[in-house]
Amino acid sequence: MEILSSLCTNRGGVVNLCGVGSLSVHGFSLQRQRAQSFTDCKKKQSFRVIRASVTKTEVAVVRIGTRGSPLALAQAHETRDKLMASHPELAEEGAIQIVIIKTTGDKILSQPLADIGGKGLFTKEIDEALINGDIDIAVHSMKDVPTYLPEKTILPCNLPREDIRDAFISLSAASLADLPVGSVVGTASLRRKSQILNRYPSLKVEENFRGNVQTRLRKLNEGVVQATLLALAGLKRLSMTENVTSILSIDEMLPAVAQGAIGIACRSNDDKMANYLASLNHEETRLAVVCERAFLETLDGSCRTPIAGYACKDKDGNCIFKGLVASPDGNRVLETSRKGPYALEDMVMMGKDAGKELLSRAGPGFFGF
């Protein structure tokens, strides 16, 4: 944790902890204590101190918008560190500020994600802050980003992708196959639920198993469920892999579209930020994410649609894509794959074509609505 140099508030009621790696929290305001009036001299002295503190406040060059979970903050700090390493002017004190924004998905924890409905549950408020100029760039987990971007924004950067696999975590079993009949697996993901039930119909799934990584592990330790699945990428970024019981292969559990990828957005008319982000972009990751999102967009996937997709480069430099759709109860799972050049147009075409195939095979009413 950095030592933060000064504390101040801006006109929007945002608390700024100024300095490198500083922190702001939307919706939090400091209580102002009314100083008692003693003498005119005391008043003047107090006034002079306030003016001096204002003149020393440094304005951030880059304000990074993020959710406030430990994982989201880890991703924001990774972005900050890469910016500082690539651009010396951003390594100066006060040049980068991290702004925490609470999203709809963070506020409503009592219902399954599928029941909340809509898209952008974890990005909407951050996108609004970006458009309104309250932040300069937005750091997202790409699997949370809708297939469309809000007007006036672009997403030109993906950081190098982390491990895309899911981790199995349990205090009583070595794998899903080892869980006794009737065991409860906790997950907030219909993608995971459908694949679990398809392979292990004797298990039960608690689908409102929500909260950050730490919350889910606490619930597991309290015996609320017998096992859970979490993205290995998040556990690695949080340095919490000691909690992993085993790792599922992509044949056992195909990952969510864009799992393990961090995306960074900016305003479409902000050339300065776009140039900063261009220096961080990992093109192999970006193309894989584009392919997977083309698949998802073709299927018009929502939180009520169990969909999985993964694109990667093989040893010969080609793109291998695997896609899956399932019924929510896991009774039907449809899969497909594609192979082609690792190039933008070809990969977009592969994703779309795979989506069209599965739509055709699924038929009307497949997803139950």
Cα–Cα distance measured from residue 336 to residue 100, given in angstroms and rounded to the nearest whole number: 39
Q: Tell me whether residue 115 is one of the annotated catalytic residues.
A: no
- Of the residues 106, 144, 163, 166, which is catalytic? 144
Active site residues: 144
